[in-house]
Amino acid sequence: MEVLIAVSAVVGIIIGGLVSFLVLKGKKPEPEVKVVEKVVERGIPQEEIDRIKEEARQEARVILEQARKEAEEIRQRVRKEYEEKYERELERLRGEFEDRKREIEEKRRELKELESGLLQKERQLDRKWEVFERREEEIYKREKEVRELERQVELKEMEILDREKRLKEQEEEIQKLKEKELLELQRIASLTMEEAREEILRKVEEETRLEAIKLMKSIEEEAMKKADREAKRIILTSVQRLSPQIAINYTTTTVELPSNEFKGRIIGREGRNIRTFELLTGVDLIIDDTPDVVTLSSFDPMRREIAKEALERLIQDGRIHPARIEEVVDEVKKDLDDKIRKMGEEVAFELELHDIDPRLYYYIGKLYFRTSYSQNVLLHSKEVAHIAGLMAEELGLDAKLARRAGLLHDIGKAISHEVGGSHTDIGVELCRRYGEPDAVINAIKAHHEEEPVRYPEVALVCAADALSAARPGARRETLEAYLKRLEKIEQIVKSFEGVANAYAVQAGREVRIIVNPDQVSDEDAYVLSKEIAKKIEEEMEYPGQIKVVVIRELRSVEYAK
């Protein structure tokens, strides 16, 4: 379109020039002024002058019209020539465009072929890489197998050396026995037939007794191994089937407030409300800068529960004054007794112990507000009951009796802080009062080794009690006892010769021992770990197990100067 406009403009300019040229070359009339002057000079009349002017104008119009027609023809001819030239040029450009287009299509096909070739090569590389990875994995597995075989070969070599040593000792012993037999034969040669028969019978009897003892020992060791495997299987199966929560109680409880203005209402005028509340509940009410929160502090969980419930009711009611505080605290105490009894009943029904005396429900529920090394006693008792019951089912014993003994083995802790005496004596008295079987009484006494175990179910309760107490995170010990235990572990380890240093880590569940490589060999390090573990077992009491790691490292250092 732009080319067409340019061509038209050029054609117009050419045509205008041609018209001007033709007009200048043609019969151009003289100006009117000169004609008038000539007429005046000649004395021609005015009418003639007007006629001449009119004829001149007509002639000029005819000339102009002819010039226009000729200019139009020239313009049409030039336009046609330029259009034909434009069409030829356009056709030429179109042909070049088609050629370029074909070249581009050809290049595009070549690029596509190149791209497909590259993709194919990339896939081939991926397949080769996968093959390399598989081969690398196979090589890694083979290296691992080789290392395992090397380790087995080393063990076999050590075993062969040990056997060679024993064989040498046996050869020496056989040689000594031969010499002894030779002396014995020399002595027997002087005996009578009866004396020789008695001597042979005595030797046969001694040999038979030795073989019987070896057989008994072998059978006993095999039985112990089998019993140990079976016991581990039963314990693992029982513990894995049980997934209880670990509840740790602290000495404080927080209560959220609807707004910060309740702090002033809880304190009351001149502190009357807070003094009344602390006097009636026996807890310390801590009000600090923490927004919308107050803290209840007491070592007695039941008092904290009463105070928490009472404070929440007072906040909900909105009326906080000494008389209302006293009224609400009395209501909460009455409601809490019913709640405790209901809690004990639910636990008994959960363990399918429907024949327990209902009067024991209150004491069972009260265990929820007692702690042992910060472990909730009720949850601990439930866990012991579940584990003991599961192990009893695995062994074909009375699972219900095991659960009953497990639930009640710490029942004395419910009122041990209210009545004088140990919790075992109080628990025995409670259970006897409410007609519990002798196995339960035995479990209460035996789990603290105050009397021997008389029932297999009681043995399971003792084991379950140890498992529940040793569960990681279940109990906490005082900082002083914790530090003493770590110091004791390190002290025992450092008493062995060749120990350079020792570190008790992982809260005392692991001890890492650095030995002097000049004094302790690799074989001695293995023996040392066994001896240290044995001494720790003999001299210490601890939950769970302690991992003994002996580290022997030889460093050679030299400086290049």
DSSP at 508: G
286 close to 293: Cβ distance less than 8 angstroms: no
The pairs formed by 412-421 with CB atoms below 8 angstroms and a separation of 24 or more are 412/444, 413/367, 413/370, 413/372, 413/377, 414/363, 414/364, 414/366, 414/367, 414/370, 414/377, 415/363, 415/366, 417/370
Same domain, 323 and 390: no
The pLDDT tens digits of the residues spanning 298-347 come to: 777 778 888 888 888 888 888 888 888 888 888 888 888 888 888 888 88
Q: What CATH number does the domain containing 412 carry? A: 1.10.3210.10
* Residue closest to 408 by CA, chosen among 433, 428, 387: 428
Q: Is residue 460 part of a domain?
A: yes
Is the pTM of the predicted complex or chain greater than 0.75? no
Pairwise CA distance, residues 162 & 33, whole Å: 151
Q: What is the mean pLDDT of residues 351-375?
A: 81
Mean pLDDT lowest for which of 296-305, 369-378, 487-496? 369-378
| Cα distances (angstroms) measured from residue 427 to each of 114, 389, 433 | 90, 21, 10
Pairwise CA distance, residues 219 & 199, whole Å: 30
68 band by pLDDT with thresholds 50, 70 and 90: confident
Same domain, 413 and 280: no
Number of domains comprising the chain: 5
Q: pLDDT at position 35, please?
A: 45
Chain position carrying tokens 């070599």 = 157
Tokens of 394: 């695995």
Same domain, 421 and 308: no
Pairwise CA distance, residues 447 & 428, whole Å: 12
Question: Cβ neighbours of residue 411 under 8 Å, at least 6 residues apart?
Answer: 360, 363, 364, 367, 381, 427, 430, 431, 444
Tokens of 16: 């205008």
Q: What is the mean pLDDT of residues 254-266?
A: 79
DSSP at 28: P
Q: Is residue 126 part of a domain?
A: yes
Residue type, 65: E
Q: Is residue 282 part of a domain?
A: yes
Does 375 or 133 have the greater pLDDT score?
A: 133
Pairwise CA distance, residues 78 & 83, whole Å: 8
Q: What CATH number does the domain containing 487 carry? A: 3.30.300.20
Containing H/E element for 499?
Answer: strand 499-505
Q: pLDDT at position 478, please?
A: 53
Spell out the alpha helix ranges (H) of 242-300: 262-267, 272-281
Same domain, 135 and 23: yes
Q: Which residues of 390-412 are buried (b: 16+ CB within 10 A; e: fewer)?
A: bbbbbeebbbbbbbbbbbbbbbb
Q: Is residue 211 part of a domain?
A: yes
Q: What CATH number does the domain containing 324 carry? A: 3.30.1370.10
Same domain, 438 and 534: no
- Residue 358 clears pLDDT 80, i.e. is over it: yes
Q: What is the mean pLDDT of the chain?
A: 77
Same domain, 52 and 156: yes
DSSP at 360: G
Pairwise CA distance, residues 187 & 493, whole Å: 55
Tokens of 370: 């007692």
Q: pLDDT at position 434, please?
A: 86
Pairwise CA distance, residues 160 & 136, whole Å: 35
Number of C-alpha atoms within 13 angstroms, CB side, residue 342? Answer: 6
Pairwise CA distance, residues 396 & 405, whole Å: 17
Q: Is residue 342 part of a domain?
A: no
Strands (E) located in 357-439 = 371-372, 375-376
Pairwise CA distance, residues 67 & 82, whole Å: 22
Same domain, 321 and 394: no
Q: pLDDT at position 40, please?
A: 46
Same domain, 427 and 503: no
Same domain, 132 and 63: yes
| Cα distances (angstroms) measured from residue 404 to each of 255, 387, 398, 401, 447 | 36, 12, 10, 5, 14
Diameter of the chain by CA atoms?
Answer: 209
| Cα distances (angstroms) measured from residue 232 to each of 20, 386, 387, 418, 462 | 125, 17, 13, 40, 15
Range of the domain at 407: 351-470
- Residue 19 clears pLDDT 60, i.e. is over it: no
Q: Is residue 62 part of a domain?
A: yes
- Residue 129 clears pLDDT 80, i.e. is over it: yes
Same domain, 391 and 362: yes
Pairwise CA distance, residues 514 & 268, whole Å: 64
Q: pLDDT at position 71, please?
A: 85
Q: Which residues of 336-362 are buried (b: 16+ CB within 10 A; e: fewer)?
A: beeebbebbbebbeebebeebeeebbb
* Bridge partners of residue 503, in order along the sequence: 512
- Residue 367 clears pLDDT 80, i.e. is over it: yes
The pLDDT tens digits of the residues spanning 155-185 come to: 888 888 888 888 888 888 878 877 777 676 6
Same domain, 365 and 310: no
First-to-final CA distance of the chain: 88
Pairwise CA distance, residues 40 & 56, whole Å: 17
DSSP at 545: -
Q: At what angle do helices 377-395 and 456-470 cross, to 10 degrees?
A: 130
- Residue 210 clears pLDDT 70, i.e. is over it: no
Same domain, 373 and 486: no
Count of all residues that appear for the chain in the document: 561
Q: pLDDT at position 216, please?
A: 65
Please, is 385 exposed, middle or buried when counting C-beta atoms within 10 Å of its C-beta (0-12, 13-18, 19+)? buried
* Residue closest to 265 by CA, chosen among 195, 322, 339: 322
Q: Is residue 246 part of a domain?
A: no
